[in-house]
Amino acid sequence: MRIDVVTIFPEYLAPLRAALLGKAIDRGLLDVRVHDLRDWTHDVHKAVDDSPYGGGPGMVMKPQIWGDALDSVCAGDTPRLVVPTPAGKPFTQVMARSYATESRLVFACGRYEGIDQRVIDDAARRMPVDEVSIGDYVLVGGEVAVMVMVEAVARLLPGVLGNPASAEQDSFSDGLLEGPSYTRPEVWREFAVPDILRSGNHAAIDRWRRDKAIERTFERRPDLLERLPEGALDKHDRAL
């Protein structure tokens, strides 16, 4: 998969080349290209923003520069364009799975009060465009949101995770939060590992893990239980 990121802070995206994603890049599973938006400016000041029509605080990113940048980065291709914004639709694991099937993603990072809307409307005439938020809080710009989304997508690409079963067992893949995990020692600071996990009875262990997942989801994210597909809970689950 190829991922392009256009930003006025290219150095901010450096962590994408570290750790697991760095390894995926080195192994050729992922091609990440970060572009400096200011490369498409024409004036000596390399200005990328201007005051908003209609007044108000903050600055809006200029359409001409973004238009040229996206024309150049998307040239001859139809990638999916993702524009991070707190006003976007919420990013979810379902979207991460869908993005992981694309051959190309282009992320357009806005700063200030955002990008002139016509940039998004124009791009949408030629390619699929998503304005996406990573949660109900406000960041300074889209860069960190891009890192979040790229990490969520990249770990789903074939070969990126050492053990593909980890992606299948994630919180959210069955619509429930994952329950607690334990490793050695058996007792630590007076806390013992639950006996059942050492019983060797794998059917009972699976049942216990599912019970814990349901309890945790009920306590922390009751909204997720409401949204489970019909038939996702069996009789035992519903008795909890």
How many CA atoms, within 13 angstroms, populate the side-chain half-sphere of residue 118? 9
Q: Which of 127, 139, 197, 224 binds ligand 6GU (CB under 6 A)?
A: 139
CA distance 171 to 152: 12
CA distance 44 to 52: 22
226 assigned to active site: no
Q: Is 7 in the site for ligand 6GU (CB under 6 A)?
A: no
In sequence order, which residues have a C-beta less than 8 Å from that of residue 115 and are 6 or more positions away? 60, 61, 63, 66, 83, 108
Q: Which of 55, 75, 137, 181 binds ligand 6GU (CB under 6 A)?
A: 137
Query: How near is the Cβ of 95 to ligand 6GU at its closest, in Å?
Result: 12
Query: How near is the Cβ of 10 to ligand 6GU at its closest, in Å?
Result: 17
Q: Is 141 in the site for ligand 6GU (CB under 6 A)?
A: yes
Contact segment (CB under 6 A) with ligand 6GU among 20-28, 53-61, 79-87, 189-197 equals 79-87
Task: Out of 113, 151, 215, 237, pick the active-site residue.
Answer: 113
150, 16 contact by CB (below 8 A): yes
- Show the tokens assigned to 140: 């300074």
**Residue 139 or 193: which CB sits closer to ligand 6GU?**
139
170 assigned to active site: yes
- Work out the angle between the directed axes of helices 19-26 and 143-154 (0-180°, nearest 10): 60
Query: How near is the Cβ of 130 to ligand 6GU at its closest, in Å?
Result: 11
Long-range contacts of 202-208, Cβ-Cβ distance < 8 Å, separation of 24 or more: 207/236
Q: Is 167 in the site for ligand 6GU (CB under 6 A)?
A: no
Q: Pairing between strand 49-50 and 60-61?
A: antiparallel
86 assigned to active site: yes
Q: Which of 30, 85, 96, 210 binds ligand 6GU (CB under 6 A)?
A: 85
Active site residues: 86, 113, 155, 170
**List of residues contacting ligand 6GU (CB under 6 A):** 84-86, 88, 132-135, 137-139, 141-142, 145
